[in-house]
Amino acid sequence: MSRGESCRFCGEPALVDQIEALQEELDRYRNGFKGSCYACEVVGELNVELEACVSILTQENTEVQDEVYRLEAENVKLKAELKKEAEFCAASGDTDRADGLFKILEQG
């Protein structure tokens, strides 16, 4: 028998429905939706919501960290290009521009 069917002999709802209902109730106990008092039930529901929020924040933090690493790598490349440009300017006699570029590199 499948969900929603009745027993062909007695007409009672199928055991599948009862098992699923009991499984859902058991899950509610495990997840903290039911407790020994009304306060525990509310706390259990809040804990489930907070766990979902923590999961979302963890994922977003991972994405931000990945972006930070990408930007740091890009910064290293740009500093190398800036250094090349400053050295070229110094070698070609454009000392004012070279000094300006070296100051930018020193600042970070």
pLDDT above 90 covers a percentage of the chain that reads 43
List phi, psi (to 5°) of 13: -55, 150
Mention every residue, 6+ apart, whose C-beta is less than 8 A from residue 98: 86, 87, 89, 90
Average model confidence (pLDDT) across the chain: 82
> Would you give the DSSP letter of residue 74?
H
Q: Is a pLDDT exceeding 90 seen at residue 60? A: yes
Q: What is the mean pLDDT of residues 29-48?
A: 70
Residue 23, pLDDT > 70, answer: yes
- Cα 95 to its chain centre, rounded Å, is 49
* pLDDT, position 67: 94
Mean pLDDT, residues 77-87:
93
Q: Does the pLDDT value for residue 42 go beyond 80?
A: no
